[in-house]
Amino acid sequence: MTTSVREMLETYPGDLGSVDREAMARCIQECIACAQACTACADACLSEGMVEELTKCIRTNMDCADICNTTASVLSRHTGYDANISRAILQACATACKACADECGRHAEMHDHCRICAEACRGCEQACNEMLTKLG
């Protein structure tokens, strides 16, 4: 996956302007990885015996996965690029990732899937915030 994201950015026939391709590739990759971790964590939470205690975690995981997938898709499209839309989705993604990391962090000592998910969310939040600084 890492290679294909970078390769696709490199082969884009149009001018990407001053976009930092490395930061963009990292952000897209982190969004995809976070969405997968959140989806898997929500599913693992549903398999726990104490599922009713994990409903907020499941909901937060599902919201974060959807937002991360959308962010990766928006960042992967460059035709008719609108920096305002990219900024808004990156801010939403960073916010969702922070909320999910915080929620999963509450269960991390008891559930390894929550610990792993929290780590993925923190990495994605950081990548989104970094990309925001690159957009100005």
Task: Report yes or no on 13 lying in a domain.
Answer: no
| Cβ-count burial 99-110 (b if 16+ within 10 Å, e if not) | bbbebbbebbee
Q: Specify whether the CB–CB gap between 24 and 7 falls below 8 A.
A: no
> Does pLDDT of 1 surpass 70?
no
Q: What is the pLDDT of residues 72-94, one digit of tens each?
A: 999 998 777 788 999 999 999 99
62, amino acid identity: M
Domain around 65: 2-6+20-135
> Does pLDDT of 43 surpass 50?
yes
Question: First and final CA of the chain: distance in angstroms?
Answer: 27
Burial class, 14, CB count within 10 angstroms (exposed 0-12 / middle 13-18 / buried 19+): exposed
Over range 87-116, report the average pLDDT. Answer: 97
How does the average pLDDT of the chain come out, rounded?
92
Task: Report yes or no on 15 lying in a domain.
Answer: no
At 87 the pLDDT is 94
Query: What confidence tier does 27 reach under pLDDT thresholds 50, 70, 90?
Result: very high
- Which residues have C-beta within 8 Å of that of residue 19, sequence separation ≥ 6? 134
**Percentage with pLDDT > 70 across the chain:** 98
Task: Report yes or no on 101 lying in a domain.
Answer: yes
Q: What is the domain-level CATH number for residue 125?
A: 1.20.1270.360
Q: Count of domains in the chain?
A: 1
**pTM of the predicted structure, to 2 decimals:** 0.93
Task: Report yes or no on 14 lying in a domain.
Answer: no
- Which residues have C-beta within 8 Å of that of residue 52, sequence separation ≥ 6? none
Task: Report yes or no on 81 lying in a domain.
Answer: yes
